Amino acid sequence: MSVKVIEVSGLTKKFGNFTAVDHITFDVEEGEIFGFLGANGAGKTTAMQMLCGISMPTAGAGTVAGYDIIKENELIKRNIGYMSQKFSLYEDLRVWENIRLFGGIYGLSDKVIATKTNALLEKLNFQKERNTLVKYLPLGWKQKLAFSVAIFHEPKIVFLDEPTGGVDPAMRRQFWEMIYEAADQGITVFVTTHYMDEAEYCNRVSIMVDGHIDALDTPAALRRQFSADSMDEVFRQLARKAKRGD
């Protein structure tokens, strides 16, 4: 029986009269790569923010890494990694300085940080850019770096919010290879995206439309269910009903 690292029931977020996330219920198993799909504006980022403990749910409940998302949100944070849409590295800090900062924040010692930093830069082939200020890195490298920083402290779960925006498909594929590596190491990956082809890379996906989850299964099962050739097709069928989004 696999462990559920994320369990959510009836999760809701309202902003005034606007319901961004409408009573969603799902769970994620340990080691899964879970794709949280939907159009822009469907509510994915809002949902993710609640799971990460930086947004207070209006209603509903859930646990992440075994901790209650309403009462124990600070404990959740110790066990997760996060990479936001804006990649959120400090542009005016160097590559190694960003790594060091977040490593330190998650409680790694100076020595461990130094060792791991070297290993990481080696693996990514980034040694030459060790001292480069992040603002001078090309977009694809920033993404890879941000992801690496997010899992630097080897969290149980890593949340990725639209991590591959703005780069060419080749870059995106490289990025997903990194995701696979992380999953192989036992890190659960929760990733939102609006690129439907990336859905194929996931173990299971859910598709959000107008704040609720309209589909949740493996990509293969969904294609069968909707008699579609691609996830794109699945999505388009669902999106026709949508009021919000692209």
Partner 1 sequence: MKTLKFLIEKEFKQMFRNPLIPKMIVMYPIMVLLLFPWAVSFEIKNIRIDVVDHSKSTYSRRLTDKIEASRYFILNDTPPDYRTAMLNMEHGETDMILEIPSSFDVDLVKNKASGVGMAVNSVNGTQGLLGSNYIMQIVNDLSSELRAELMHTLPPQSRASMIRMPQIDIVPQYKFNPSLDYKNFMIPGFMVLLLTLICGILPALNIVMEKENGTIQQINVTPVNRIHFILAKLIPFWVVGLVVMIISVSAAYLLYGLWPVGSVMAVLFSAIVFILSISGLGLIISNYSETMQQASFLVMFFILILILLGGMFTPVSSMPAWAQLIAVINPFNYLTDTFRMLYLNGSKLADVTGNLLALGVIAIVLNGWAVFSYKKRG
Residues that bind partner 1 (CB under 8 A): 49, 52-56, 73-75, 77-78, 80, 82, 84-86, 88-93, 97, 100-102, 104-107, 133, 159
Shortest approach of partner 1 to residue 126 CB, angstroms? 19
User: What distance in Å separates the CA atoms of residue 152 and residue 93, rounded to the nearest whole number?
Assistant: 17
Shortest approach of partner 1 to residue 236 CB, angstroms? 31
Q: What amino acid is encoded at 166 in this protein? A: G
Shortest approach of partner 1 to residue 101 CB, angstroms? 5
CA-nearest of 182, 218, 184, 223 to 201 is 218
Q: Where are the beta strands (DSSP E) in 30-102?
A: 33-38, 59-64, 67-68, 80-83
Burial of 156 from C-beta contacts in 10 A (0-12 / 13-18 / 19+): buried
Choice between 77 and 116, CB closer to partner 1: 77
Shortest approach of partner 1 to residue 81 CB, angstroms? 8
Choice between 187 and 239, CB closer to partner 1: 187
Residue 35 near residue 202, CB atoms below 8 Å: yes
Choice between 189 and 207, CB closer to partner 1: 189
Choice between 88 and 237, CB closer to partner 1: 88
